Structure 1
């Protein structure tokens, strides 16, 4: 419930949200259903959404530094003193006082060479960078859902294929035994069929184990065990060339956008550090009541004035901090260069994997057709005595391998297609039009950007939202 409260702060409930939150039918779970489940239930997204809220609050806390700071104060002081003075004729005079005071203090930043305003801008840029980090995590979560879904589909079909092949080999064994009894084949042919059957059972056990691993992977990503998954019938629309993929990736990938925001943050920090070398002007005031109990004396005290400070010498610390901020800026600029190359390489690799998977699928399709023709021919020739049992088993194994290759290639092609989308920064719930309540990164920020207090109307609403999130 808390997720619904938070994710709809600005836009309200989406009409499709109810359908998205209904239990997924075990008899018809599509790839889109699996990605929607991953988006709604994956803890990694929840973690990074919370980190984004923390960045929003950092921006609000920095903005609050431009506002007045008002505190109340109070203290009780007991003073006991003794002194020898000329007026006391050489005798020690003792005195004791009890003083209590209470009041309000005020502090307002008037001028600091722009350092705090630069800090506010830097914190807002940090929020924008953190949003892009969240998109990167979202892409990884959805891509994990794609891989886990297609791995289950692939492994389930391979298990089914091996089960069917095992039944076929069992019939071949029975036929070899029948022919051995009438003297048409030798004991060697029967042994070959028995060995093939045992090998088929071992391969089936391995495939079943792989399927169970894929099912666990699926469950960890989506939050539930897979039912009867509906294999996709078409891949998402792809760009025309690898160069187009790279161009989009460099322009729109969240890692690239985040790196640019981080450069802006680093540049603002340099300016902020340089501004800290200048003077700071603050308005300070206080008003309070003071009472001296020993003398039954009460007074009201008020003060208002300006405080001006400026660094002169701090042992070279400020200069070192300025040089450090400049070095960090240079490092961040270099990181953009590295990120650009990584994004381009990832996009190129994704396109290469898609091309290779497409070629593999086409070749494996032709291999299946040829292997099926060969197997049927060898089997008919064996009935006429011109082929041995070994020939039949070999042709049958070739057909099984070809069909397994085609199943694997088809899954690899779909995974590669979604990998291309991820490399371009387009594997998001919004761009895939998934039936989920989309997380709105601006909703929370807009509520906290001017730092509402806990006692304000908006602050109380935020407190209710955060309490609900924490109870989930």
Structure 2
């Protein structure tokens, strides 16, 4: 009976070695969707991008409204009036008190045109300030786009992390199941003790618990992927290469300071704040306006009518406002100073973010190299311990420990590879280059100036340009 049992032991260990090959090899299912496709889906499905595009359209409309302040305003007024009353007086000739009543019905209509000729430059400055805010909002939209794509890239890579970890854990469970069967067979022939069997069974229970935890992590990562990309994670293919990055941190910082959207947005905010000071100072200056009116009034009772018009050149200006105008100037100066301070903070943050992103990348690269070496060494160690166990020089616990070290090394290597990929895209984001245009994604190009060009002249709803604008708005509403 001993030889058949020993044969089963060897067969079980052989099956365990086959599982080990699966364990130490790359877990590569049949993939289909690439990282680029995931980023494209995230770009197309992002509600956050749509929200901020609408915010940009609202800023574009501020320009149209500021332009309207420079144009004449034409309005009409109309009214129908019924007047009635009674009057009385003492008549000396009649020697009595005489009373009488009157009722009149008339209607009038007037056309009024008015234009502000001079307002201390406030209206023109307000137009320029709103243009600066539009440019700042465009840069903010680019920053939001980077956030969306970075989240999608991290979600994609974490699916890889946890799916491959689940594969490792599943293989680990199968291997330990073989080890448990082998330990039981060896126990039957007296080669090992009951303690060895219990150790193998305990390790199997721990492996199953680790597999359940890995499966839970994969489910959580799948929900994050769905939220970030807009569709469930299916058939993902790992990227073959990482994005190209500047060779040195110094070069990267200089590049970031030239093009990062956060810096661009804050620069335009500073300019807008400086214009606000001039607007506040202009409020102290007089306002000159020209008004023309023409109207017709008709009496319904006797058919009398009158018509006529007037032209008025008026001027007004503040004398005393309780200190409100001076306070407004001081507030504008304070806001300008705050915007400048924020610009300085953004500069430092950009440089810091670039430095930290590169540091994280270097660490993840070093970890990957170390874990590759650890996997190589752990593989050799496990194979040696397994062979020694066949000869009785090693215990079941030694085999299980060596196997666990190999599993941990493989899991750490996967995490290091994923961390390196995520860190690469974090570097791109810190440079301001994690955009659909810079990544050459196959998505419709969003033109931030398209809507602005349609509304910057403040078109009327009944104009040709207004009709075109209505079609655009209807198309946006159907998306």
TM-score normalized with structure 1 length: 0.92
Alpha-carbon contact 1:245-1:351 (below 8 Å) kept: no
Partner residue, 1:67: 71
Give the Cα separation in 2 of the matches to 1:27 and 1:88.
114
Change (3 A) 1:429 1:180: same
Report whether the alignment pairs 1:373 with 2:374.
no
Deviation per CA, 1:412-443, whole angstroms, max 9, x where unpaired? 00100010010011100000000000111011
Give the Cα separation in 2 of the matches to 1:385 and 1:353.
46
Which of 271, 274, 280 is matched with 1:273 structurally?
A: 280
Q: CA deviation at 1:80?
A: 2.7
Give the Cα separation in 2 of the matches to 1:103 and 1:69.
14
Does the residue aligned with 2:301 lie in a helix, a strand or coil?
Answer: helix
Residue pairs, 1:83-122, within 5 angstroms: 83=87, 91-122=98-129
Which of 78, 83, 100 is matched with 2:82 structurally?
A: 78
Report whether the alignment pairs 1:56 with 2:60.
yes
Give the Cα separation in 1 of the matches to 2:100 and 2:318.
45
Residue pairs, 1:60-459, within 5 angstroms: 60-83=64-87, 91-459=98-466
- Greater shift, 112-121 or 219-228, is seen at 219-228
> Which structure exhibits the higher relative contact order, with contacts defined as CA atoms closer than 8 Å and separated by 6 or more residues?
1
Deviation per CA, 1:277-333, whole angstroms, max 9, x where unpaired? 111111111112111223321111211121211111122111111111111111111
Q: CA deviation at 1:247?
A: 2.0
Give the Cα separation in 1 of the matches to 2:46 and 2:331.
39
Which of 31, 43, 61 is matched with 1:39 structurally?
A: 43
Q: CA deviation at 1:217?
A: 0.8
Q: CA deviation at 1:95?
A: 3.1
- Greater shift, 84-93 or 209-218, is seen at 84-93
Q: CA deviation at 1:166?
A: 1.2
Number of equivalent positions: 447
Give the Cα separation in 1 of the matches to 2:91 and 2:318.
47
Give the Cα separation in 2 of the matches to 1:92 and 1:378.
129
Q: CA deviation at 1:471?
A: 2.9
Deviation per CA, 1:92-133, whole angstroms, max 9, x where unpaired? 554332221112110112111211000000000000000011
Does the residue aligned with 1:294 lie in a helix, a strand or coil?
Answer: coil
Does the residue aligned with 1:431 lie in a helix, a strand or coil?
Answer: coil
Give the Cα separation in 1 of the matches to 2:223 and 2:64.
42
Does the residue aligned with 1:231 lie in a helix, a strand or coil?
Answer: coil
Q: CA deviation at 1:223?
A: 1.3
Does the residue aligned with 2:245 lie in a helix, a strand or coil?
Answer: coil
Alpha-carbon contact 1:290-1:301 (below 8 Å) kept: no
Does the residue aligned with 1:300 lie in a helix, a strand or coil?
Answer: strand
- Greater shift, 192-201 or 313-322, is seen at 313-322
TM-score normalized with structure 2 length: 0.91
- Structure with greater Cα Rg: 2
Change (3 A) 1:380 1:454: same
* Structure 2 residues not aligned, in runs of 5+: 1-29
Give the Cα separation in 2 of the matches to 1:276 and 1:183.
101
Calculate the aligned-residue CA RMSD, in Å.
1.5
Does the residue aligned with 2:457 lie in a helix, a strand or coil?
Answer: coil
Give the Cα separation in 2 of the matches to 1:155 and 1:91.
104
- Greater shift, 43-52 or 339-348, is seen at 339-348
Q: CA deviation at 1:339?
A: 1.4
Deviation per CA, 1:213-249, whole angstroms, max 9, x where unpaired? 1111111111111111100111100111222222222
Give the Cα separation in 1 of the matches to 2:91 and 2:338.
72
Partner residue, 1:16: none
Alpha-carbon contact 1:350-1:419 (below 8 Å) kept: yes
